[in-house]
Amino acid sequence: MMMKSIARFIITGCVALTIIASSVISFAESQYSTPAEAVAGLTARDALSVIDERARTGKTYGAIANEAGVFDEFKTEMLKIRKDMLATFVASGSMTQKQADEIFARIIDNMAVCAGTGTGCALYCPGRGIGYGLGVRGGRGMGCGLRNISRLINP
């Protein structure tokens, strides 16, 4: 009788910990998958209008967010997006967790000095940012990221 009570207690505890852990993990994930979606969501605009503004004016997504007064929130979302992408790379075996941690530390360092202008605080290509999918294809992003993540994996 006592063993059944202990077993139930342990099982209940494990289930509770699993629920808590999964809620913390989902909280850390971004609700956006691209910089355009992040700006659109934070400014209550349509993503296509943000993309159109960027194409028309040449402004970075960071500059658009800054003008709308949501730059700090945008940077937070960009960190979440980048962390999600790095987790995807680790899960697929494209990189190790140690490599992902090193890259994320560099991203954080760059974000600390980022003003969203796209004028030269990236590690390798001044004025270039992460773009879609961490810039693996070389997209222009908010200007404070890493244009080509492969340079960090194998510098």
The domain spans of the chain are: 1-30, 33-153
- Nearest partner of 65 among 107, 33, 36, 30, judged by Cα: 36
Q: Is the pTM of this model over 0.75?
A: no
Could you tell me which residue, 31 or 23, shows the higher pLDDT?
31
For position 140, what pLDDT does the model report? 42
pLDDT tens, position by position, 80-135: 999 999 999 999 999 999 999 999 999 888 888 887 776 544 444 434 444 444 44
Distance of alpha carbon 142 from alpha carbon 38, whole angstroms: 12
pLDDT tier, 31 (very low <50, low <70, confident <90, very high otherwise): confident
pLDDT tier, 65 (very low <50, low <70, confident <90, very high otherwise): very high
Distance of alpha carbon 103 from alpha carbon 106, whole angstroms: 5
CA-based torsion, 123, 129, 132, 135: positive or negative: negative
- Nearest partner of 55 among 145, 146, 139, judged by Cα: 139
Distance of alpha carbon 150 from alpha carbon 137, whole angstroms: 10
For position 113, what pLDDT does the model report? 82
| Alpha helix segments (H runs only) across the chain | 2-28, 35-43, 47-57, 61-67, 71-92, 97-112, 150-153
Query: Picking from 41-45, 75-79, 108-112, which range would have the lowest pLDDT averaged per residue?
Result: 108-112
